[in-house]
Structure 1
Amino acid sequence: MMVQRILGSPVDDQTRCIHYRTPLDVVAIKFRCCRQYYPCHLCHEESAEHAAVMWPADEHDAAAVLCGVCQTELSIRSYLEVDGCPRCGAPFNPGCRLHSYLYFTTETH
């Protein structure tokens, strides 16, 4: 298994960052604009030298979410359908769904 490089401001090896670091904050998002993983939208905003681009709904089969516990890459569609990692069982922060519009477009956004 290849360990993904996480850009931005991670604070541990499970993708927690200076902005979101609860025990449940264990995902990183691959941004469509640069195809790089960041722990959160704020890390991308602070570190990338470009504006974020959201994944369109017709690309939700792309592997763009990383479980920081086991390094499994999930498709956007899979991530949006689960409450935790299907491989290792690590629970994901349910509050992250409140920010999904910053990363992924849907039919309503």
Structure 2
Amino acid sequence: MIDPRPRVLGAVVDDQTRCIHYGTPLDIIAIRFACCREFYPCHLCHAETAGHPAEQWPIADREEHALLCGVCGHLLTIAEYLEADRCPACRSAFNPGCKLHTHLYFRVDAIKP
């Protein structure tokens, strides 16, 4: 059977998208990066293997499906993820510490002229 989930690149260590950098039971999210549209478990995996600098998703792209729940495979929009503390499909909890890295993945301030 072919796995319908998107591939997750980087130093992935299990089938729930944990990596060598973040491996707690709550580290179950992979992020589709705006620059390459590829999923990675974290910013460090992207930095080590992508071959290009990361770009943050613009605020205007909050409806883009850019987060993958490693437990059930549900794709979340950026807006859903930023408001959630768990997967809306399977109810698995997300690592609250990930909020500290929001600025690495998503623009959080309006662009000033």
In structure 2, the residue matched to 1:35 is: 37
Q: Which protein is bigger by CA-based radius of gyration?
A: 2
In structure 1, the residue matched to 2:82 is: 80
In structure 2, the residue matched to 1:48 is: 50
- For residue 60 of structure 2, what is the amino acid of its counterpart? D
Question: Whole-Å Cα distance in 2 between the matches of residues 31 and 89 of structure 1?
Answer: 24
Helix, strand or coil at the partner of 1:98: helix
Unmatched tracts of structure 1, length 5 or more: none
* Deviation of 1:107 (Å): 2.5
In structure 1, the residue matched to 2:25 is: 23
Out of 3, 6, 12, the residue aligned to residue 4 of structure 1 is 6
Identity, % of aligned pairs?
56
- For residue 46 of structure 2, what is the amino acid of its counterpart? H
In structure 2, the residue matched to 1:107 is: 109
Please report the TM-score for the alignment, with normalisation by the length of structure 2. Answer: 0.93
Unmatched tracts of structure 2, length 5 or more: none
Please report the TM-score for the alignment, with normalisation by the length of structure 1. Answer: 0.96
Residues 59 and 110 in structure 2, CA contact (< 8 A), matched pair in contact too: no
In structure 2, the residue matched to 1:62 is: 64
Question: Whole-Å Cα distance in 2 between the matches of residues 25 and 84 of structure 1?
Answer: 11
- For residue 39 of structure 2, what is the amino acid of its counterpart? Y
The Cα offsets for residues 55-91 of structure 1, whole Å up to 9 and x where unpaired, read as: 0111111000000000000000000001000000000
Question: Whole-Å Cα distance in 1 between the matches of residues 79 and 37 of structure 2?
Answer: 17
Helix, strand or coil at the partner of 2:39: strand
Out of 82, 91, 94, the residue aligned to residue 93 of structure 2 is 91
Helix, strand or coil at the partner of 1:95: helix
Helix, strand or coil at the partner of 2:32: strand
